[in-house]
Structure 1
Amino acid sequence: MEFSATTRMVHITVQPFFLEQESDPQKNAFMWAYHIRIHNSGFEPIQLLSRYWKITDALGRVQEVRGEGVVGEQPLISPGGFYEYTSGVPLQTPSGFMGGSYEMISGNGERLEVTVPTFSLDSPFDVHCVN
């Protein structure tokens, strides 16, 4: 499943996938990877400066993460260009969701907060009950 959002000509797509071989349900350890594509459809270069994540597990516990760049980089994305990366997130529950934003700066020095769409983290170990 793919999730997407656009903020001022910056289009973000996310594809999460469960990593069964790196998870251990017996120990409440569940791992996901997510692939993100950032497309600059604007007319000026943009640079990703920092990230913010809000990660929520199936019990409603929230973890917030802030940091410089992504995967150790602060990419400069030219007009019409894109940047892709893959990262991961562990949870103690078999499902959850996460979303956030990137702080970027445009070629003219304007700072932008670009939305990363909230995306679902679902594993085959999640049991759904209908009440």
Structure 2
Amino acid sequence: MVTAVTEGIKVTVETTYQAEFSSPHQHHFVFTYKVKIENNSSHTIQLMRRKWEIFDAGDQVKYVEGDGVVGMQPILEPNDFHEYVSGCNLRSGLGKMKGSYLMEKLFDGKLIEVQIPEFQLIADIFDN
């Protein structure tokens, strides 16, 4: 589990290798990651966009951008939090991700780039 804090907004990420959905012999490794976003600031914020850098030891770096997270643009009051689970496929069993969320402070429209901490994607292919 890794954590980063930007202007009172805490992002925590926990990853899981999904062996039952992976096919190592076909270079297909599936990971899920659970993200918790906590608004420890004094302002109401809304998550507008996401940006990811995905590093795969068996492939090139991929960049993914889009609106919200898993189809949502959650609004977080002070001391509120939002959790979601998403996934990533790699060609190797070794990689990492990092990124940022574009958040808007709803009282004045100010945009903040909130850091998503870098986290490792490591397949445990030796358990069976």
The equivalent residue for 1:129 is: none
Instruction: After TM superposition, give the deviation of residue 59 of structure 1 in Å.
Output: 3.7
Alignment of 1:56-71 (within 5 A): 56-59=55-58, 61-71=60-70
Is 1:115 aligned to 2:99, yes or no?
no
Unaligned stretches of 5+ residues in structure 2: none
Q: Extract unaligned runs of 5+ from structure 1.
A: 127-131
Q: So what's the TM-score if we normalise by structure 2?
A: 0.95
Deviation at 1:14, TM superposition (A): 0.1
Query: Quick one: distance in 2 between partners of 1:61 and 1:125?
Result: 22
Taking structure 1 as reference, are residues 60 and 27 closer, same or farther at Cα in structure 2, changes over 3 Å only? closer
Q: Which amino acid aligns with 2:109?
A: G
Residue 102 of structure 1 pairs with residue 106 of structure 2: no
Q: In 1, distance between residues paired with 2:52 and 2:122? A: 17
How many Å apart are 1:61 and its aligned residue? 1.7
Number of the residue aligned with 1:89: 88
Are 2:33 and 2:87, in contact at CA under 8 Å, matched by a contact in 1?
Answer: yes
Partner AA of 1:102 in structure 2: Y
Counterpart in 2 of 1:24?
A: 23
User: In 2, distance between residues paired with 1:101 and 1:112?
Assistant: 10
- The Cα RMSD (Å) is 1.1
Runs of 4+ in 1 over 6 A off after TM superposition: none
Give the secondary-structure state (helix, strand or coil) at the position aligned to 1:52.
strand
Identical columns (%): 37
Aligned CA distance change for structure 1 residues 116 and 80 (closer, same or farther; 3 Å): same
